[in-house]
């Protein structure tokens, strides 16, 4: 099993969700986040005053998936979240030792 963590632009969430659904991903956790990478935030003008926005709004997706579906899920996220502009996001993949469904006690891939 693997865990996919993807940081994407908020307006791309629906497209990514649909793309993941098409490749058979059944569960996603979505967390509203703020942060910055190479773009280091940006400057905005509000009522004539200029101010720096250090943390840009982002959405973090967490998906635990069976190894067989990993490549298709990562590709779906990458294609759906891509705009070609700075700040498109990142995808991280890590190994998951075990998963346990609290309600039934199922473990491993059966729990996801």
pLDDT along the chain (112 residues), means of 10: 97 97 94 81 65 81 96 97 91 96 93 90
Q: Which residue has the tokens 């990562």?
A: 74
What is residue 101's predicted lDDT score, i.e. its pLDDT?
A: 94
Give me the pLDDT at residue 44, please: 60
| CATH architecture label of 1-108 | 2-Layer Sandwich (3.30)
Phi, psi of 31 (to 5 degrees): -125, 130
Instruction: Specify the pLDDT at position 55.
Output: 79
Domain chopping of the chain, boundaries: 1-108
Distance CA 89, CA 36 (A): 10
- pTM: predicted TM-score of the whole model, two decimal places: 0.85
Contact assessment for residue 98 and residue 51, using Cβ atoms and an 8 Å cutoff:
no
């Amino acid at each position: 099993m693997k865990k996919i963590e993807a940081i994407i632009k908020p307006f791309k969430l629906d497209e990514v969700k649909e793309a993941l659904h098409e490749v058979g991903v059944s569960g996603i956790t979505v967390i509203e986040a703020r942060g910055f990478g190479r773009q280091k935030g940006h400057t905005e003008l509000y009522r004539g005053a200029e101010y720096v926005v250090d943390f840009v709004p982002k959405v973090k997706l967490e998906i635990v998936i069976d190894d067989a579906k990993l490549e298709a899920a990562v590709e779906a996220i990458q294609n759906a979240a891509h705009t070609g502009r700075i700040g498109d996001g990142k995808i991280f993949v890590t190994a998951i030792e075990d998963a346990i469904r609290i309600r039934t006690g199922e473990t491993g891939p059966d729990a996801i």
